Amino acid sequence: MTTLPPLSLYVHVPWCVRKCPYCDFNSHGVGHDRTLPERAYVAALLDDLEAELALARGRELVSIFIGGGTPSLLSGAAYQRLLQAIEARLPFASDIEITLEANPGAVEHDRFAAYREAGINRLSLGVQSFQSRQLERLGRIHGGDEAAQALRNARAAGFDNINLDLMHGLPEQGVEDALADIDRALALAPEHISWYQLTLEPNTEFYSQPPRLPDEDVLCDIQEAGHARLEAAGYQRYEISAYTRPDHQARHNLNYWTFGDYLGIGAGAHGKLSAWQSDGSLAIERRWKVRQPEAYLRRAQDPRGFVAGRRALETADLPLEFLMNALRLTEGVPRHYWRERSGQPDTLLDARLEEAQAKGLLRDSSQRLQASPHGLLFLNDLLALCDEQ
């Protein structure tokens, strides 16, 4: 029996000023008055966590990620109460990473100091684009100059670990427009840039009324030129859509991709927990919480609790569950992670890899599980091969 994987905590804040047309996350618009049941929601989050503590068994937290929605709609005081109460229940690693997602158009800039004082030490700013025309199409409520000022204000408040979210493949976007967004981001010198392609997801406005997106040739040109521009500026690609300066990888996301464990609290939050059984086997369960904010708040008084569903991962599910995370990383993961974090022998995984290796989609290594450069370009094809019985 080996040790359990690292443990993180995901906290979901489900409200935003308005729903963006591309967004398929569990988010609910509140309008510009931004009136929220802040105190009641923090209390519910702590009740939710209290009910999960037996699953954590006193393990320390290596990271916390507060996502949404738009978490920056809540005050610094709310996060101070929340984080102090979490630490009273679960020990924090000495170098814990605590990230808050913030929308540049949904945060008063003097809140950054309050967030930093509360213990948040990493910000993720949802910029998406610096161009007014694209921001309007995406339904964003900020402008490019406002996004740049938000980062400068965060710096002034003491944040030295900042991520910028940028999209590419936007409606009618060409290579030069995409590179202009990257150049504007680079001028702000964030530690981390998430640069990902806009996709049309079911149950979104863009899915039902699709905008005119670039064709495949233009998308390939954007990806090639953008990748070169980011790497030339000293940002290393370590995950399919993430670039970082040295030693600033998102540790919370790395825990996801390396098949770590995480508790999930908040409306619609998901979690994954592992536990060794008395017979020496490893049980892995995914669970998720009630999605609607009003229903989630009511569950605080409900004996059923906050859990909406749960699913034990079957042995047959584990290879794909593991690989669809691990192979997102450009360097892959050590092979021993499979045995330690799935509880299964190498033979179960190796049988899924033979054809992918034969097609050159996986690197041939006895030490690491890693997609080849070609495999990273065709990750969905690689995973489909790995899913074949």
Rounded Cα–Cα distance for residues 337 and 36 (Å):
42
**pTM (2 d.p.):** 0.95
> Tokens at residue 269, please?
């939050």
Evaluate whether 21 touches 139 at the Cβ level (below 8 Å).
yes
- Asked whether the predicted pLDDT for residue 328 surpasses 90, the reply is yes
- Tell me the CA distances in angstroms from 182 to 57, 168, 225, 247, one per residue in order: 43, 10, 10, 21
Q: What is the pLDDT of residue 106?
A: 61
Summarised one tens digit per residue, pLDDT across range 168-213 is 999 999 999 999 999 999 999 999 999 999 999 998 888 889 999 9
Summarised one tens digit per residue, pLDDT across range 41-76 is 999 999 999 999 999 988 999 999 999 999 999 999
- Asked whether the predicted pLDDT for residue 294 surpasses 80, the reply is yes
- Asked whether the predicted pLDDT for residue 389 surpasses 70, the reply is no
Q: What is the pLDDT of residue 58?
A: 81
Q: What is the pLDDT of residue 122?
A: 98
In this structure, the number of other CB atoms found within 10 A of the CB of residue 325 comes to: 19
User: Pick from 301, 300, 292: which is nearest to 45 by CA?
Assistant: 300
pLDDT band at 34 (very low <50, low <70, confident <90, very high): low
- Asked whether the predicted pLDDT for residue 239 surpasses 90, the reply is yes
> Mean pLDDT across the stretch 79-105?
96
Bridge partner list, 195: 166
pLDDT band at 143 (very low <50, low <70, confident <90, very high): confident
